[in-house]
Amino acid sequence: MSESYGIIASFPNTPAFFHAAEKVRDAGYKKWDTYSSFPVHGMPAAQGQPRSKVPVFTFCGGVSGFSLGLSIVWFMNAFNYPLIVGGQPFFSPVFPFPIMYELTILLSAFGTLGGMFITNLLPQHYNSLFNSDKFLEVSGDRLVIAIEARDGQYDPVATRRFLEEIGGTDIEEVSA
Residue number, 12 or 98, with CB nearest to another protein = 98
Question: C-beta of 97: minimal distance to another protein in Å?
Answer: 7
Closer residue to another protein in complex, CB, 92/127: 92
Rounded least distance, CB 41 to another protein, Å: 5
| Minimum distance of another protein from residue 167's CB (angstroms) | 24
Q: Is 39 helix (H, G, I), strand (E, B) or coil?
A: coil
How far is it, in rounded angstroms, from Cα 75 to Cα 77? 6
Nearer to another protein, 86 or 152 (CB): 86
Binding site for another protein (CB under 8 A): 41-42, 51, 55, 59, 86-88, 94-95, 97-98
Q: What are phi and psi of 108, to 5 degrees?
A: -65, -40
Residues with Cβ within 8 Å of 29's Cβ and at least 6 positions away in sequence, in order, are 147, 151, 153, 154
Q: Which is nearer to another protein, 6 or 62 (CB)?
A: 62
Least Å distance, CB 94 to another protein, is 6
Please choose, from the candidates 157, 150, 155, the residue with its C-alpha nearest in 3D space to the C-alpha of residue 128.
150
Rounded alpha-carbon distances, angstroms, from residue 8 to 26, 140, 153, 169: 18, 16, 15, 9
Closer to another protein at the Cβ: 45 or 76?
45
Q: Give me the least distance between CB of 117 and another protein, in Å please.
A: 21
50/140 with CB nearer another protein: 50
Residue 30 CA neighbour count, 13 Å, CB half: 4
- DSSP class of 89: -
Closest approach of another protein to the CB of residue 78, in Å:
17
Cβ 175 vs Cβ 149: under 8 Å: no
